[in-house]
Structure 1
Amino acid sequence: MNHPAVRDAALLILRVVLGIVFIAHGWDKAFLTGMNGPTGTIAQFERLGIPKAQMSAWGVAGWEMVGGALLLLGLLTSAVAGLMALFLAAAVYVANIDHGLFARNGGMELGLLCIAALIVVLVFGPGRASLDRALSRFS
C-alpha cells in the first residue's frame, strides 16, 4: 500500500507514539520519585561515568520532553529525529550494550526499536499531518 494518505497516517501514528514515549521517559527522569526521578537518574549517570551527571541528567530529561513534543507536533521533525537517534545511539552504547538485547536485562531492545523508528521519520519526513507541512505552505 503505497498511497500517500496511508503513508501519512502511518507517519502520524509513528510520530505520536514516539513523542509520547520520549515525553514519558523525560518526565520520569525529571519528576518521578523513588528509583527513577532526578535522584535515581543522576545516580545512574554517575554509575555510568557520565561527566557532570547532574547537569547531564537534567539535560537529557529536558531534551526528551522537548524533542518528544516536537515529534508529536511534527515541528522541526527531521532535525529532531536525527538528533534524537544520535543521542539514543550513544545512550544505548553507554547504558545498555553490556546487558545484551532484551529489555528485561536492561538491554538494548527498546533503544534500538526507537532508533529504527526515528530513522524512518528522518528518511520519510513528518507527513502531511504536521506543523512542518502546515508552515511550509507559508514560505
Structure 2
Amino acid sequence: MNRLRVLTEPSRVASDIGLLVLRLAVAAVFIAHGWGDVFGAGVSTNIQNFRDAGIPLPALAAPYTAYIQLFGGIAFVFGALTRPLSAGFIVVMAGALIFVHRGEPLVMQPDGSGSGFAFIMCMAATALLLLGPGRFSADSLIAERQAGPARTVEGG
C-alpha cells in the first residue's frame, strides 16, 4: 500500500485543475495591467513611455500590449484562444524583459526594479502555450464538439 500515490501518480483531474488555476492567475495579472494601460494612464501615455524606453514601433507596440493584456486576459478567464493568446503574452513579456528589465536581477530591488515578475509571467504563458488550457475551458468544449460524440469500436 503506497500512501504517496496521490503525490506521485499523474491525475487528469488534478492537471486540469492546475491548468485552470494557472490560467486564472495569469488572467488576473494581465487584466489588471491591461486595465491600467487602457483606462488608467491611457494608451497615448503608454506610447510615450514605450518611446522613452526605446521600444521599437511604440505606436503599435503600446496599444498591442494594452489590449492583448486586457482582452486576452478576459478570454483567458474562459479558456478561449488560450494557445494563440499565450504566444501573444510571450511576445509582450519577452519585450518587457528585453527593453524594460534588461540587466536587472530576478529579485526585486528596493527601487522596484527586477525582472523576476516579467520572467515568471513569460514562463507561465509558455507553459500554457505548451500544455493548453485544460479540460475546464472554452477551447476544450469547442474541441469536444468538433470531434463529435465518442465512438466505440465493436468487434475483435
Shared topology, TM-score over 0.5?
yes
Count of residue pairs brought into register by the alignment: 136
Determine the structure 1 residue equivalent to 2:4.
none
Alpha-carbon deviations, 1:13-60, whole Å to 9, x = none? 100110111011011111114xxx445423321211224434432221
5+ residue gaps in structure 2?
1-6, 147-156
Determine the structure 2 residue equivalent to 1:49.
54
CA apart distance, 1:86: 2.7
Larger radius of gyration: 2
- Structure 2 residue matching 1:61: 3-state secondary structure: helix
Indicate whether 1:31 and 2:36 are aligned: no
Of 66-75 and 18-27, more deviation after overlay is shown by 66-75
CA distance change for structure 1 residues 93 and 52 in 2, over 3 Å: closer, same or farther? closer
CA apart distance, 1:120: 1.6
**Equivalent pair of 1:15/1:74 in contact (CA under 8 Å):** yes
| RMSD of aligned alpha carbons | 1.8
**Equivalent pair of 1:81/1:121 in contact (CA under 8 Å):** yes
5+ residue gaps in structure 1?
none
Indicate whether 1:75 and 2:80 are aligned: yes
Structure 1 or 2: larger helix share?
Answer: 1
Alpha-carbon deviations, 1:78-107, whole Å to 9, x = none? 121123113311221111113332334422
Q: Could you tell me the percent identity over the aligned residues?
A: 28
* Structure 1 residue corresponding to 2:140, chosen from 126, 133, 138: 133
* Structure 1 residue corresponding to 2:29, chosen from 21, 33, 46: 21
* Structure 1 residue corresponding to 2:67, chosen from 49, 62, 67: 62
**Equivalent pair of 2:34/2:65 in contact (CA under 8 Å):** yes
